Amino acid sequence: MDRSLIIEERGQNISHVELSEELAVPPFFARVLAARGVSSKNELDLSLNLLTGPKRLPGVDQAASRLVRAINSGERILVIGDFDADGATASALVVSLLTEMGVADVDYLVPNRFDFGYGLTPEIVAVAAKREPALIITVDNGVSSVEGVQVANELGIDVVITDHHLPPKDLPKATAIVNPNLQETTFESPFLAGVGVAYYLMAVVRATLRAESYFESHNLSEPNLADWLDLVALGTVADVVPLDRNNRILVYQGLRRIRLGHVRPGMQALIEIADRRLETLSAQDLGFAVGPRLNAAGRLDDIGLGIQCLLARDLESARSMAVALDELNKARRAIEDEMNVEAKVLISESIDSDAPALCVYDASWHQGVVGIVAGRMRERFHRPVIAFADSGDIAPGEIKGSARSVPGLHIRDALDDVATRFPGLVDKFGGHAMAAGLTIRRIHLDRFRKAFAEAVAGRVEPRDLAGIVVSDGVLAVEDLNVDNARLIEEYGPWGQGFDEPVFHGEFELISQRMVGQGKHLKLIVKQQGKVVDAIAFNQQTINSDRITMAYKLQVNRYLDNETLQLLVEHVAPS
């Protein structure tokens, strides 16, 4: 972590007295909420009936119409997803919902990242064509798949795209494209994850079938879409999309159902293997414990195992698949640890770490893990980072990069700058503001590294690269208690765009010891006579009796006891 902390407080000048009285919460927490744009109790209502309707979601009516026609005609439907948690949850959602709607001939296909790469490529369409589908539905991909859709059209296969990634200038000629980020959209929730887009489409499909009396005429029970919100919550959190109010409703309602035990066997098995409890599951648990185990299949092997787990109809089979996913996640961690060490050495010995952006590559790296490495290096050096690995035998001489950004930089737009200024330098790219993927030729790496640094330099201010810790202020010692940690939990879900509160302060360091195979630091700290436990992940021992910490309040649950623990985000000698 940081050798020194640059702390910037937020919300200090925002009026919060009335909010504190209205919510009956401590002043410090009212300030936290006000700093996140909350001005009244009504804005915290996350009831499902307040979810944004699908009316303005681009392409949803056309897509639903085509899908309903396929259902009524008994056509073969093939779902093609992405190889991450968002794609897996979206695939499981569409397949299982169609099955509940009486569709007998529905299946899924996810390209193996090592053989086919991302998206609806011509190669994966050729594989799909062997199953003779009448309709392909993409989830969490497809908006950039111009060539793949063209091949499908030539083969007589209709394509409905559901995606949330930023669209290119030229769109695929699909039957319908459902994407909240299409140009000139007036849809009120542009930050839906791929699983969220799929959920909206299936809601319109259900409404259309209901209007046609489909369920009665086929003697079917109409599916309750709320039963699929556990998948929506997991995919939304795991994909780290901004938690605007609409996404918070989806995640909150999904978590609420999980905590009440209304959860599919595969989700329950993943939660169990991650050593979390249904009754107290949080968005952070989904993002840091459940999601990575699902993602591990797509990173190291085939996300199909994760989808099978989510589709499992009984807990016994789901648990056996969850065990296999957990083993893959352990292997992923070992590979990641080694690559992180190598990346730090590369940057310290061969790359100017003061450059506005960093690109790292090693021929031995695993392409399924480079995104995590890019994120770790971004955290360490406070720079946007792209980590590259070889594409493998399918594309000799090509390297694939995974990019992670810093607040203030839209990294996909920076890549667009490079591609526009230097035609041919970037083969393919796509993504979001904070994360993106790309492919280039290995011989172009040095040229790309320089061009990318220039593009970033033109888009950031010095403060964007300073590693500033944004804090919600200094907590009074009397506010350091487990009741306030429970209060913060209660007002979740927290995530990007609705960040979990971070506080800072000076503490006396009483004791420290390494735990978790020597990777994490367990601390006992004291402030004004009050002694508190703390944990700092991926942190080595500190050579100082007094420290400054940026931390979160956390409920530490052990057996039937609940105590306060500080989750340390950053720490440095005072």
Report the distance separating Cα 564 and Cα 380, nearest Å.
Answer: 27
CATH of 6-11+468-573, one of 2.40.50.460, 3.30.565.10, 3.20.20.70, 3.30.70.2740: 2.40.50.460
Report the distance separating Cα 423 and Cα 454, nearest Å.
Answer: 16
Class of the CATH domain delimited by 50-327: alpha beta
Residue type, 53: G
Q: For residues 468, 471, 474 and 477, what is the CA-based torsion angle, rounded to 10 degrees?
A: -120
| 176 contacts 62 by C-beta, under 8 angstroms | yes
Report the distance separating Cα 6 and Cα 10, nearest Å.
Answer: 13
SS3 content of the chain, % helix, strand, coil (to 5): 45, 20, 35
Res. 1 pLDDT band, cuts 50 70 90: very low
- Residues whose CB is less than 8 angstroms from the CB of residue 333 and which lie 6 or more positions away in sequence, other chains included: none
In the block, residue with structure tokens 């009120």: 188
Report the distance separating Cα 66 and Cα 162, nearest Å.
Answer: 13
| 527 contacts 507 by C-beta, under 8 angstroms | yes
Report the distance separating Cα 337 and Cα 463, nearest Å.
Answer: 29
96-119: pLDDT as tens digits: 999 999 999 999 999 887 777 788
What would the mean pLDDT of 384-407 be, rounded to a whole number? 92
269-326: pLDDT as tens digits: 999 999 999 999 999 999 999 999 999 999 998 899 999 999 999 999 999 999 999 9
DSSP 433-469: SSEEEEEEEGGGHHHHHHHHHHHHHTT--GGGGTTEE
| Cis ω before 167 (30° cut-off from 0) | no
Q: Let me know if the fold of 6-11+468-573 is the same as that of 50-327.
A: no
Minimum mean pLDDT range among 12-16, 226-230, 301-305, 498-502: 12-16
Of the candidates 219, 245, 215, 309, the residue with the CA atom closest to the CA atom of residue 271: 309
**3-class DSSP state for residue 392?**
coil
190-238: pLDDT as tens digits: 999 999 999 999 999 999 999 999 999 999 999 999 999 999 999 999 9
What would the mean pLDDT of 78-105 be, rounded to a whole number? 96
Minimum mean pLDDT range among 27-36, 356-365, 419-428, 511-520: 511-520
**3-class DSSP state for residue 374?**
helix
How remote is the C-alpha of 545 from its chain's centroid?
37
Length of the chain: 574
Of the candidates 68, 71, 73, the residue with the CA atom closest to the CA atom of residue 103: 71
Tokens representing residue 502 in the block: 């971070």
| 542 contacts 573 by C-beta, under 8 angstroms | yes
509-523: pLDDT as tens digits: 999 999 988 889 999
Tokens representing residue 335 in the block: 């590979």
Res. 352: pLDDT tops 90:
no
| 473 contacts 28 by C-beta, under 8 angstroms | yes
21-73: pLDDT as tens digits: 999 999 999 999 999 999 999 999 999 999 999 999 999 999 999 999 999 99
According to DSSP, the residues that pair with 430 across neighbouring strands are 437
For the stretch 222-226, contacts whose Cβ atoms lie closer than 8 Å and that sit 24 or more positions apart, written own/partner, are 223/97, 223/100, 223/101, 225/97, 225/199, 226/48, 226/253, 226/257
Tokens representing residue 483 in the block: 């009741």
Report the distance separating Cα 345 and Cα 301, nearest Å.
Answer: 27
Average pLDDT, the chain: 94
CA neighbours within 13 Å on the CB side: how many for 550?
Answer: 22
Indicate the DSSP class of residue 157: -
Report the distance separating Cα 20 and Cα 342, nearest Å.
Answer: 49
Would you kindly state where each structural domain of the chain is located, as residue ranges? 6-11+468-573, 50-327, 351-465
Q: Which helix (H) or strand (E) covers residue 380, if one does?
A: helix 370-381
DSSP 481-534: SHHHHHHHHHT---BTTBPPP-EEEEEEEEEEEEETTTTEEEEEEEETTEEEEE
Distances (CA, A) of 356 to 375, 453, 455, 479: 16, 6, 9, 39
Report the distance separating Cα 304 and Cα 306, nearest Å.
Answer: 5
| Cis ω before 54 (30° cut-off from 0) | no
Report the distance separating Cα 102 and Cα 43, nearest Å.
Answer: 39
Percent share of the chain, pLDDT over 90: 87
CATH of 351-465, one of 1.10.1060.10, 3.40.50.2300, 3.50.50.60, 3.10.310.30: 3.10.310.30
**3-class DSSP state for residue 298?**
helix
What integer pLDDT is reported at residue 4 of this predicted model? 60
In the block, residue with structure tokens 């085939």: 302
446-468: pLDDT as tens digits: 999 999 999 999 999 998 998 88
What integer pLDDT is reported at residue 2 of this predicted model? 42
Neighbours of 407 (CB within 10 A): 12
Who wins on pLDDT, 54 or 559?
54
What integer pLDDT is reported at residue 283 of this predicted model? 96
Indicate the DSSP class of residue 477: G
131-177: pLDDT as tens digits: 999 999 999 999 999 999 999 999 999 999 999 998 988 999 999 99
Reading phi first (left if > 0) and then psi (alpha if -120 to 50, else beta), residue 158 is in: beta
Neighbours of 188 (CB within 10 A): 14
What integer pLDDT is reported at residue 3 of this predicted model? 46
